Amino acid sequence: MMRMPWKAPLVVWAARDLMRHPLPTLLLWVSLASLVALVALVLLLDHTLSNALRRLTDQSPAVVVRRVTPGGWAPIPIEHALHRLQAIAGVLHPRGRVWGVVRGPGGPVTLVGVNDPVDHNTVFRSLPPLRAGEAWVGQGLVPETSDTPLLLGGRRDLTLKIVGQLPDDSAMATHDVAVVHVRDARRLLGLEADQASDLALDVFHEDEADALRSVLAGAFDWPVQITTRSEQLERGLADISQRSGILLIAFGPALLAMVLLVAAMGAAGRRRRWESGLFKALGWTSADILRLHIYRGLLVGVPALTAGVGAAYLLLFQPGITWVARLLFDWSGPPPGFYLTVQGVAGGFALSALLVGLPFLAAVFWTGWQTAGGDPADCIEGGL
């Protein structure tokens, strides 16, 4: 009959041995939990931001065309531009967009002008009709009381009535956005009735966007800047990776702490060599001593790893948490909505546990192996 490697009496002995040294055990547990929480937090944050960016980018136009001058951005004559785009094969749903940045009650606000009915944007379709003098706002612009108007300043100042809030699942892109009627947007931005901020269009296949770049560049009488959806996604992911890399700087002290932890465990193993000598003199085998060391590590490590990944999840997704928005985006108030996939959660938790757990278990096994392989007489004499 095959012998089971898990021995309950040794587990109880390992637990009692840990209770004999409560302070070192607690410090070890806190160190491991903190390390895995740090790793899991960064991995989950990177995944959820990238996932949210991909979801929002899928709803954006395939190509955006902006008119540029030596002085910067310039408005586009919409009728003339749309006439030029209609002659290009492969261009779908060309449309002018009116948007810009204006002064808001707490700082800059991204202003978006829409017509009624709203087309080509799934974010706005679930909202009530919008009339002149009214506005939909993102989470960052929601007032404390429902009857508080929205004051916006641009080429001229406007006072708007808030009639709706943009969906929570779009908060990553609409946190500080105010959506108004296109006539109000043109007044704030100083645009004429036949002018737009830029042009947006769709294509049959994503690969056609890059192929149309040269055609679009030569279709107008003025220089333009062309941005595709894939470029927007690439820039956004690069920005997220850069921000995540800043957080990963904390891994330097964490790795140093792990090295010190391994060294401390090795020192503790040498100090207990005399105990191992006594155990062997009483009939314990080297395998029993090695199991005892491994059980000690598992009794501390498994709860610490579990608590670490749980703490990381709560720090990121518990309702009311605002530190992520303040740290990464300098937002105040409600945080944006974060969403995870099952693969992202499992991968982040598993990778964080492996990055911290494997070095820890390796240190446990090595110190246990060194102790179990010693001669009983030498162990006893060395400890006296």
Task: Judge whether 170 and 210 are in contact, CB under 8 Å.
Answer: no
Question: 3-state secondary structure string, 283-349?
Answer: CCCHHHHHHHHHHHHHHHHHHHHHHHHHHHHHHHHCCCCCHHHHHHHCCCCCCCCCCCCHHHHHHHH
> What's the one-letter identity of residue 27?
L
User: Token match 């709560």: residue?
Assistant: 314
Query: Rounded CA gap, 210 and 72, in Å?
Result: 24
Query: Residue 305 CA to chain centroid, in angstroms?
Result: 21
Question: 3-state secondary structure string, 208-261?
Answer: HHHHCHHHHHCCCCCCEEEEEHHHHHHHHHHHHHHHHHHHHCCHHHHHHHHHHH
Q: What is the pLDDT of residue 116?
A: 60
Q: What is the pLDDT of residue 102?
A: 92
Q: What is the pLDDT of residue 4?
A: 45
Q: What is the pLDDT of residue 118?
A: 54
The residue-averaged pLDDT of 41-69 equals: 84
> What's the one-letter identity of residue 60?
S
What's the CA angle centered on 332, arms 331 and 338, to 5 degrees? 60
Q: What is the pLDDT of residue 163?
A: 86
The residue-averaged pLDDT of 161-168 equals: 82
Asked which of 8-12, 138-142, 250-254 is least confident by mean pLDDT, the reply is: 250-254
Using a 10 angstrom Cβ sphere, with 0-12 exposed, 13-18 middle and 19 or more buried, the burial of residue 72 is exposed
> What residue spans define the domains of the chain?
8-56+238-383, 93-201
Three-state secondary-structure class, residue 8: helix
The residue among 231 and 1 whose pLDDT is bigger is 231
Query: Rounded CA gap, 165 and 140, in Å?
Result: 10
Asked which of 44-53, 132-141, 240-249 is least confident by mean pLDDT, the reply is: 240-249
The residue-averaged pLDDT of 327-340 equals: 64
Q: What is the pLDDT of residue 1?
A: 39
**Per-residue pLDDT tens over the stretch 104-157:** 888 889 999 888 655 545 566 667 778 888 888 887 787 777 778 889 988 888
Instruction: Report the chain's mean pLDDT, rounded to a whole number.
Output: 77
Query: Rounded CA gap, 40 and 313, in Å?
Result: 8
Task: Judge whether 149 and 105 are in contact, CB under 8 Å.
Answer: no
Q: What is the pLDDT of residue 380?
A: 47
The residue-averaged pLDDT of 20-36 equals: 82
CATH number of 93-201: 2.40.40
Q: How does residue 278 score in pLDDT terms, banded at 50, 70 and 90? A: low
**Per-residue pLDDT tens over the stretch 295-308:** 888 888 888 888 98
Taking CA atoms, 376 is separated from 272, 275, 369, 370, in Å, by: 12, 9, 14, 13
Query: Rounded CA gap, 294 and 337, in Å?
Result: 42
